Amino acid sequence: MVNREENILTRDTFYKGKVLVNQYKKGYRFCVDAPILASFIYGNYNDDVLEIGTGSGIISLLNLYKNKFRLINAIEVQDDLINLAKDNFLLNEMDGGVNLISGNVCDKELKLNKYDIIYSNPPFFKSDSGILSKNFQVRIAKFDIFLTLEDLILAFKRLLKLEGKAFMIYPYSRFNELKRVCDVNELFINKLRRVYTNIECSQAVRILVQLSKSGSSYIELENLYIYEGNGNYTDEMQRIICGG
């Protein structure tokens, strides 16, 4: 739960002020990973779509604004965040395009369908590594207490249709682990894109992957650089932030 001080909200804007997002000032706050992943996701308008861990709803809001999908099913384990997401969809008059689901995707008793498209910006850190945040929202969103990497891959495998696609963003430092877990569970990386902080960095910080049950194709996309050497967004990153 959040205390009174943590209930304070701030408002951020995307796509030149056309998408508004409230988030907790001292709770979990999204970063540029969210619009980066949103820009990577594609499919058909009438696809059956699921987001795992919607948080404030930012990724699905951006996808709905760009009219990518008719309806998005979005699951979230934290009640505070699912209520916030509900308010954000209402704020943007997109509540008709989302079906919010309260629960944990790992719960086999939760009635979920098969989906053409699944996407997730999952917890990045292992709960037994580093210092856990004292803030409950942050701790659950960033550490794999309720959703481990293996849990996520198993959910993809269980919930994807035969020809379905899953999209995720993950720390590049855990890429080998991601590949191993996918191999064990017979999911295949079909598209891969490395994300670098700036054009001078030699090591990627994030990895974007598209997964499926078929290993018939594999494409490595051109690297994405977030910043120029002078600290400004690159042209591509500026387009991502502005919805271009």
Which CATH number characterizes residue 87's domain? Answer: 3.40.50.150
> 130-135 long-range contacts, Cβ below 8 Å, gap at least 24?
135/2, 135/6, 135/26, 135/27, 135/28
Output DSSP code: residue 204: -
Among 163, 219, 165, which Cα is nearest to 192's? 219
Q: Considering its fold, how many domains does the chain have in total?
A: 1
Strand partners, 120: 52, 168
84-118 pLDDT per residue, tens = 999 999 999 999 999 999 999 999 889 899 999 99
pLDDT at residue 40 greater than cutoff 60: yes
Contacts of 91 (CB under 8 A, 6+ apart): 20, 22
**pTM of the predicted model, to two decimals?**
0.92
45-72 pLDDT per residue, tens = 999 999 999 999 999 999 999 999 999 9
Among 105, 106, 96, which Cα is nearest to 75's? 105
Burial of 40 (0-12, 13-18, 19+ CB in 10 A): buried
Provide the pLDDT confidence category of residue 30 given band limits of 50, 70 and 90. confident
- Residue 100, domain extent: 5-242
125-170 pLDDT per residue, tens = 676 666 666 665 666 666 666 789 999 999 999 999 999 999 999 9
Give the chain's mean pLDDT.
90
Percentage, residues of the chain above pLDDT 90: 74
pLDDT at residue 175 greater than cutoff 80: yes
For residue 177, give both structure tokens. Answer: 């682990």
CB 236 within 8 A of CB 35: no
Contacts of 17 (CB under 8 A, 6+ apart): none
Output DSSP code: residue 143: B
In SS3 terms, 154-196 reads as: HHHHHHEEEEEEEEEEEEHHHHHHHHHHHHHCCCEEEEEEEEE
pLDDT confidence of residue 69: 98
